[in-house]
Amino acid sequence: MTMTSAELAATPPAPPVSLTALLARRDLGLRLLAGPEDVSIHWVHTSEMADPYPYLLGGELLMTAGVQLTDPARYVERVVAAGAAALGFGVAPVYDTVPEELVEACARQGLPLVEVPPKTPFTAVARALWRLMAEARLHELRRVTEAQQSLAAAAARPAPVPAVLGALASRLGGRAVLFGPDGTESVAAGREVPADAARALRELAGVLGPRPGGPASASGDGGGLRLAAYALGGGDGLTLGVATERRGPGDHTVAGVAVVLLSLLTAPHRGAEATVRDGALVRLLLGAAPAQVVGGLGAGPWTVVHARGGDGTPFAAASLAAALGTPLVDTDGDGGEAGGGKTGGADAGEARGKAGGGRRDDTPVTVRLLLPASAPVTEQPGWTLGVGAPAGAEELAAADAQAARALRRAEATRTPLVRHRPGGIAALVDPAEAAAHSRALLAPLTEPLGETLRTWLSLHGSWDRTATAMDIHRNTVRQRITRCAALLDRDLDDPNVRMELWFALTSASG
């Protein structure tokens, strides 16, 4: 079957948590009275309605104290029909014990029934579940990031297509197959699967086919395995098939990265020049400095894009890259300027490494993309974009910094897309003289004071918008700006002072 947009919208951004993990929390004192414990919970909902069916989405741990529980059998039937994953029953203040009729009804229906002791508030159960989900989400984010790096490295090998398929099969723990337009296996990697599963996977890939406007992906089951198929974007009818024992929340994203890479690697009419260029692009994605790959990358010009949004995870990064027509995606875990304003290089890798351990789970993921300047960059639903000026390969570091600043301004002004605005009066001043003046004027300022002053000036002295753009408290903004005024010995309410400082700040960063 094909996954529809409605199904995708109904799926929460965080991985589900097993009821077993929740029951293992001894501080909650939960006890399973009926049903299996190996069920997945997507969220928690509390309701004292006599019939909660209209208010359930499915996959919930439904919490109730039985205020209006008059017919336990009918109540359980409605909860099961709504697709709830489990029922949590709070003992006290209505009931001293869980009603036996409710236990029997849940046992008949196979609905897990959890006893919640009097000293455990429902909010404590919900909070524990959110924490478990956050831990699972962080684990999944790291797994997807590692898989993306592995696939990109495979794409840079001498035989890239088999290498990418092998990396994909290894990361997903199954089999990856590249099907030709006629449904025959072109290349395969990973462990063998039963004949009926292989046949079902080939049939699923045939559902996609080369038809214009047809589905881009499909999923199903066969031979006891989870199956998925993806149409490649080369326009030659190739499809990618994947067979695994289970399907994790991030597997679709990992497969999406492989699809983008395979579409590039199998594109028709690829000459030697294109192969060299693609290899240089992948090396740049892996962290090589632009100077190291400029020979194969070509003169350009290129466009650097910073994006923030999606569903708050990198799971949508592959889809964004496909929409913009590039396989070059780099996610920055700390939600800030990737690599400290440098495209690739050791600094970028170090920044991502540091981000891996301290990133807040609710921080949106920043995605960096590199694409030819001739490719149009348009607004993307659910994303905020910052676009750098077109640049040659040797100027990508500056373009990366421009895109990062444009993204910050887009977020502060709540604009879906902001492009770097070059030139102006500042372009009439000698850059070396302007930089020297900036260094002398701004010497007393250390970070984060300089960046706070820059953001505050760019937002016309707005405390609230600056706090939003920098993800800090507005009082922190006031303290930093007051400190800047004291160190510079300038009146920041004077428009002439603000103009001079803005010129200095922009001249210092390029």
- Distances in Å between the Cα of 410 and the Cα atoms of 240, 401, 460, 499, 510 are 37, 14, 14, 21, 19
Alpha carbon distance 195, 471 (integer Å): 54
Task: Say what the pLDDT of residue 352 is.
Answer: 34
Tell me how many degrees the CA angle 480-485-487 measures, rounded to the nearest 5. Answer: 90
Structure tokens belonging to residue 468? 């939003």
Give pLDDT, residue 345: 34
Query: Residue 316 has what pLDDT?
Result: 64
Render pLDDT for 24-44 as a digit per residue (tens, 0 to 9): 999 999 999 999 999 999 989
| Mean local confidence (pLDDT), 289-305 | 65
Q: Given the DSSP bridges, would you call strands 239-244 and 225-231 parallel, antiparallel or unpaired?
A: antiparallel
Label the pairing between strands 113-116 and 86-90. parallel
Burial of 9 (0-12, 13-18, 19+ CB in 10 A): exposed
**Nearest one of 98, 47, 108 to 76, comparing CA atoms:** 108
Cα–Cα distance, 90 to 50 (Å, whole number): 15
The pLDDT of residue 426 is 58
Q: How far apart, in whole angstroms, are the C-alpha atoms of residue 262 and residue 188?
A: 13
Backbone torsions φ then ψ of 62, nearest 5 degrees: -85, 125
The pLDDT tens digits for 158-217 are 788 888 999 999 988 899 999 888 888 888 999 898 989 888 988 888 887 555 555 677
Distance, in Å, from the CA atom of 320 to the CA atom of 329, rounded to the nearest integer, reads 9
Residue type at 382 in one-letter notation: G
Look at 58-72, 316-330, 386-400 and tell me which has the smallest mean pLDDT: 316-330
Count of residues in the chain: 510
Q: Which helix (H) or strand (E) holds 88?
A: strand 86-90
> In the chain, pLDDT over 70 holds for what percent of residues?
75
The pLDDT, as a whole number, for residue 344 is: 36
What distance in Å separates the CA atoms of residue 232 and residue 210, rounded to the nearest whole number? 10
Query: Can you tell me the distance from the alpha carbon of 144 to that of 137, in angstroms, rounded to the nearest whole number?
Result: 10
| Runs of H (alpha helix) within 313-374 | 317-324, 345-358
Question: Would you place residue 279 in the very low, low, confident or very high pLDDT band (cuts 50, 70, 90)?
Answer: low
Q: State yes or no: pLDDT of 61 exceeds 50.
A: yes
Q: In which residue are the tokens 């850059």 written?
A: 431
Is 460 in a helix, a strand, or coil? coil
C-alpha to C-alpha distance for 442 and 112, rounded to whole angstroms? 64
Q: Are 216 and 208 in contact (CB under 8 A)?
A: yes
> Amino acid identity, residue 95?
Y
Identity of the amino acid at 499? M
For residue 106, what are its two tokens? 């849940």
Under the banding of pLDDT at 50, 70 and 90, the label for residue 338 is very low
Write the CB contacts of 492 (distance below 8 Å, at least 6 apart in sequence).
Answer: 461, 481, 484, 485, 498, 501
* Helix, strand or coil, per DSSP, at residue 92: coil
Model confidence over 100-125: pLDDT tens digits?
Answer: 999 999 999 999 999 999 999 999 99
| Angle value at C-alpha 335, between 334 and 338, nearest 5 degrees | 80
pLDDT greater at residue 282 or residue 145: 145
Q: What is the pLDDT of the chain when averaged over all its residues?
A: 79
Tally of CB atoms within 10 A around 487? 14
Whether residue 301 is preceded by a cis peptide bond, meaning omega within 30 degrees of 0, is yes
Within 10 Å of residue 490's Cβ, how many Cβ atoms? 16
Amino acid in the structure at residue 243 = A
d(CA 442, CA 462) in angstroms, rounded, equals 21
Name which of 45, 52, 104 is nearest 80 in CA terms. 52
- Helix-, strand-, coil-residue percentages of the chain, each rounded to 5: 50, 15, 35
Q: Based on the number of CB atoms within 10 Å of its own CB, is 347 exposed (0-12), middle (13-18) or buried (19 or more)?
A: middle
Residue 431 has pLDDT above 60, yes or no: yes
pLDDT at 340: 33
